[in-house]
Amino acid sequence: MWIADGWKDYEVLDTSSGEKLERWGDYLLVRPDPQVIWNTEKKHYGWKKFNGHYHRSNKGGGEWEFHKLPEEWTINYKELTFNLKPFSFKHTGLFPEQAANWDWFSSLIKEADRPIKVLNLFAYTGGATVSAAKAGASVTHVDAAKGMVAWAKENAASSGLADAPIRYLVDDCVKFVEREIRRGNKYDAIIMDPPSYGRGPKGEIWKIEESVFPFIQLSAKLLSDNPLFFLINSYTTGLQPAVLSYMLHTVLDPIHEGNVEANEIGLPVKGNGLVLPCGASGRWTAK
């Protein structure tokens, strides 16, 4: 498993009964987690003295309960600063486990010793975007949600990257890739974090089981003649690491020489020293 163990401002303190207790900087949050199917004694004081607790509804969705939690605050990861705010469906605007991937591709970018163009698809609030930009890459950030793209710009500015070569686009990722192919544009690296289900700006339906493989095939056409890496993340049950590995091998082996690795990504749990699984990633790296 690839473990995001480089955090100082974030940690999973405990897990039990379908929830995780986390420290985000100075604040404690309790949030649902479908992976936590065990029931253990909740000894940590934070289970009762939290600043925010997302209560899931039996009818779907849920709502936050707050106690002295600001509307917005920041945490740092190494040289990066991220703006956090609790919003609908339990999220804070950041997936800390992705730091395992940020460290991996940041090293590749720095060691490449040449200009690297990165395309970040389904780019959300820009954790990968600012990580790649901080490492020295120029980044094209694409997400269909206008608010998420604005949030990514805030994260870049907070990380000292307001003037970095980042291009922000509010667009349907599939339509954008199709247009980039027609334009003849190329990228040295591609990052994608496709949702399980979604709708594009004009009602386009995305179902990951049906859409992700054709999209990997399509996106691979944008790789330059000297590509550096291809990263795909999945939080969808059923898209196991071996599935991600199989897809990357199938699409990329015929056109580029490289190595494929795939694994679960996770976060260390402070209370017991175990690791909480948080999804899967597939990584292709050029030879």
Beta-carbon contacts of 179 under 8 Å, excluding residues fewer than 6 positions away, are none
| 89 part of a folded domain | no
| 145 part of a folded domain | yes
The Cα 99–Cα 120 span in angstroms is 15
Among candidate residues 25, 57, 84, the one where a domain is terminated: 84
One domain, residues 249 and 278: yes
One domain, residues 121 and 21: no
One domain, residues 74 and 180: no
Nearest Cα to Cα of residue 174 among 203, 133, 148: 203
Question: pLDDT tens digit string along 201-246?
Answer: 677 777 888 889 999 999 999 999 999 999 999 999 888 999 999 9
- Residue 207: its pLDDT value, please? 83
One domain, residues 123 and 244: yes
The Cα 128–Cα 80 span in angstroms is 11
Q: At what angle do helices 127-134 and 146-158 cross, to 10 degrees?
A: 40
Nearest Cα to Cα of residue 157 among 138, 116, 129, 137: 129
Q: How far is CA 138 from CA 1, 103, 115, 164, in A?
A: 29, 17, 8, 8
Structure tokens at 275: 């690791």
Q: How many domains does the chain have?
A: 2
- Residue 60: its pLDDT value, please? 79
One domain, residues 62 and 168: no
| 26 part of a folded domain | yes
The Cα 194–Cα 207 span in angstroms is 9
| 91 part of a folded domain | no
The Cα 265–Cα 3 span in angstroms is 6
Q: Which amino acid is at 26?
A: D
| 105 part of a folded domain | yes
CATH of residue 12: 2.60.40.1180
Q: What is the DSSP letter of 225?
A: S
Nearest Cα to Cα of residue 152 among 189, 109, 123: 123
Among candidate residues 36, 55, 84, the one where a domain is terminated: 84
One domain, residues 42 and 182: no
The answer to whether residues 39 and 47 touch, using CB atoms and an 8 Å cutoff, is no
Among candidate residues 30, 60, 84, the one where a domain is terminated: 84
Residue 198 has pLDDT above 90, yes or no: no
Give the CB-side neighbour count of residue 72, counting CA atoms within 13 A: 7
The answer to whether residues 191 and 127 touch, using CB atoms and an 8 Å cutoff, is no
Structure tokens at 239: 């898209």
The Cα 261–Cα 109 span in angstroms is 18
The answer to whether residues 270 and 12 touch, using CB atoms and an 8 Å cutoff, is yes
One domain, residues 76 and 104: no
pTM above 0.85, yes or no: yes
Residue 116 has pLDDT above 90, yes or no: yes
User: How sure is the predictor about 165, in pLDDT bands with cuts at 50, 70 and 90?
Assistant: very high
The answer to whether residues 193 and 121 touch, using CB atoms and an 8 Å cutoff, is yes
One domain, residues 80 and 103: no
Question: pLDDT tens digit string along 50-107?
Answer: 999 999 988 778 999 999 999 999 999 999 999 999 987 899 999 999 999 999 999 9
The answer to whether residues 127 and 94 touch, using CB atoms and an 8 Å cutoff, is yes
The DSSP H or E segment spanning 207 is strand 205-207
For residue 11, what are the domain limits? 2-84
CATH of residue 228: 3.40.50.150
Centroid of chain to Cα 45 = 30
